[in-house]
Each structure stands twice: as C-alpha cells, then as structure tokens.
Chains A and B, each alone.
Chain A
Amino acid sequence: AQKITQTQPGMFVQEKEAVTLDCTYDTSDQSYGLFWYKQPSSGEMIFLIYQGSYDEQNATEGRYSLNFQKARKSANLVISASQLGDSAMYFCAISSYGNNRLAFGKGNQVVVIP
C-alpha cells in the first residue's frame, strides 16, 4: 500500500520568502508518481507539480520545484517568492502503478503574511 507522511505543523511564511514543505512516502512499486496539490480555503484542488519515480531531474513549474530524493523517499515542495495567494493547504500524493489511484498525505497548512 502507498503511504504519504506530511508532519509539519502549520507554517507562517513572510511574503517574498521561500518555503519548503516536507513529504516522505512509502511504496513497494518500482514505478510511481509524486504529486503536489494546493487547496485554498475555497475548497478546490489545484494540481501544482509532478515527479516521476524514474525522472532524474527535479521537476520545476514556475515558482514551484520539487526536491526529489529517491533513496530517502522524500519529495519536498519548494515555493519560491511566496505570495499572499499561496496561503492554502498543500497535499502531497502518490500514485499506484497500474491503476493511478492517488493516496494523499494529511496536508501542510501555509499562511503567507505581508
């Protein structure tokens, strides 16, 4: 079974600073995908970034980058130059090979302060 662990307490981040959100995972699959989603207080679930288990380069998408350390089974999200609109819950998720169902962590709450 897939498992995602996100244990950081809620975080306050100063506007324009970078923030790193921790995510560790456990899986028996050789091939898997790691995803980060953003959920603002309005409730929608927004896809941010994806890292494949065989990708050698860390994924980047605008201000988002994923620090993938396969041996340590970690997939931390880095948000650079935080903006007020980044205040949200951030979920790390892993997909299963073959059926693609996502298993989510409990989320990291981020509040960006001016």
Chain B
Amino acid sequence: AAGVIQSPRHLIKEKRETATLKCYPIPRHDTVYWYQQGPGQDPQFLISFYEKMQSDKGSIPDRFSAQQFSDYHSELNMSSLELGDSALYFCASSLKGNNQPQHFGDGTRLSIL
C-alpha cells in the first residue's frame, strides 16, 4: 500500500540558511500534519492542514511556514535556520474525521552545521 512520502530524507544546512521539506500524503488522505522530533525526544506537533486550509497550529516557530497544495501535498518552509532546528521532521496524513489514525512518513533528518 502507498505510504506517506517525504523528501529529502536527509538535509544538511548551515545557520541562517533556508530549507524546504516536502510531503506527499497517502492517496485520498485530505489531512496533513507536521511534527518535529529532537534528538532523544518525543515528536512535537507543529501544524496541520485540512483541504488546503490550516486547521491547527502548535509550537511552530515564526521562522517556519507551511502550506498544502491543490494536489494535497504539503511543504514546510524553514528560514533563518538555527542549530536547535536540527531534528527529525515527520509528515503524517489521515482521513478526515476525529481520532483518525495518522500514518507517518519516514521523516526528513535535518542537520544544521
């Protein structure tokens, strides 16, 4: 079965640079979520989209922005990168509705030098 596709798998950037992470949800899933997992930490919710509209916002820095496109893929844009942004970034997707299981991609491992 098709899963959530994230790209790139690994990304190395320097401080103050920008990065764009991409996510392609499971077909027919209309809700996309972004999570950040620091080293040795549990994932933290950043932001979510339903039908191309932002549906919920968590602990996402102002330097980050995200959107969902007409084909339901989503992009997380990160600017003025800091050392503390080094983390594993997950995208997840689900069907519409309360308490629907979220299926995660393999993540993008972002390293800031």
Q: Which residues of A contact B43 (CB under 8 A)?
A: 45, 91, 102, 104
Q: Which of A79-109 contact B (CB under 8 A)?
A: 91, 95, 97-107
In whole angstroms, how far apart are the Cα atoms of A31 and B106 in the complex?
29
Please count how many residues in chain A sit with their CB below 8 Å of the partner chain's CB atoms: 26
Q: Which residues of B contact A107 (CB under 8 A)?
A: 42
Q: Contacts A101-B45, A101-B48, A102-B45 hold; do A47 and B99 have CB atoms under 8 A apart? A: no
Q: Which of B78-113 contact A (CB under 8 A)?
A: 88, 90, 92, 94, 98-107, 109
The answer to whether B101 and A50 have CB atoms under 8 Å apart is yes
Which applies to chain B's interface (DSSP): helix, strand, loop or mixed? strand
> Number of residue pairs across A and B with beta carbons under 8 Å?
69
The answer to whether A100 and B48 have CB atoms under 8 Å apart is yes
Cβ-closest chain B residue relative to A50: B101
Q: Which residues of B contact A106 (CB under 8 A)?
A: 42
Cβ-closest chain A residue relative to B97: A100
The answer to whether the Cβ of B24 comes within 8 Å of any Cβ in the partner chain is no
Q: Which residues of A contact B77 (CB under 8 A)?
A: none
Cβ-closest chain A residue relative to B106: A44
The answer to whether B104 and A101 have CB atoms under 8 Å apart is no
The answer to whether B99 and A103 have CB atoms under 8 Å apart is no
Which of A46, A95, A98 has the largest number of chain B CB atoms within 10 A?
Answer: A95
Q: Which residues of A contact B72 (CB under 8 A)?
A: none
Taking the closest CB of chain B, its distance from the CB of A52, in whole angstroms, is 6
Residues of A within 8 A of B (CB): 31-33, 35, 37, 43-47, 50, 52-53, 91, 95, 97-107
Known contacts A47-B102, A99-B56; 9 additional CB pairs below 8 A are A43-B88, A43-B107, A52-B99, A91-B42, A100-B102, A101-B33, A101-B45, A102-B43, A104-B42
Q: List 6 A-B contacts (CB under 8 A).
A: A32-B99, A99-B55, A100-B94, A100-B99, A101-B45, A102-B45
